[in-house]
Amino acid sequence: MDEWIKVGIVTNTHGLHGEVKVFPTTDDAKRFLDLEEIVLNNGTQKKRLEIERVRFFKNMVILKFKGFDNIDDVQKFRQKELLVTRDQAVPLEENEYFIADLIGLSAVSDTGEDLGEVADVLQSAANDVYVIRKSGAEDLLVPAIRECVKQVDIQNGRITLHLLPGLREANQKKKKQE
């Protein structure tokens, strides 16, 4: 498990006084109000930034970092990830997982079939959808619902799925329509 959890991506600067627009990748954008600092990941290194101010605009979070007071100071933050440590992360409820922990899990059916691995998690209003990818096969889209997700074993890197009748066919039909 990675020590870092992504909570947002800096999309752009905001105004002239060092603020940035952040697209939140967390379920609850209000969680930024509880943070005193955040880590900026520029790909090669991680930099701790102290949060001076948080406000919200539409679906974005506007952050002001202490010591960064004009637009030129924050231009380099564009398209960079914002991270928190696991101990700063929002506590999970039972049967909730961080997306970062699900990516890469080996996926098997409840009948023992190797389905591939979790390549992505699509978030929708109704429920998340796990994208299961296997070399030489079409991606399999599995809804993250109790009827389908039988066991998630993060420690052993495995997820057990029940494929509802017609699920594979629905995936293939959707693919043909695209």
| CA nearest to 13, candidates 66, 56, 75, 69 | 75
| Distance from C-alpha of 100 to C-alpha of 117, rounded to nearest angstrom | 13
Model pLDDT for residues 86-131, shown as the tens digit of each residue: 888 878 888 888 888 899 999 999 999 999 999 999 887 788 999 9
Token reading at 66: 């202490």
DSSP 25: -
By percentage, how much of the chain surpasses pLDDT 70?
A: 95
| CA–CA separation, 67 and 52 (whole Å) | 9
CA-nearest of 173, 170, 163, 174 to 115 is: 163
- pTM of the predicted model, to two decimals? 0.69
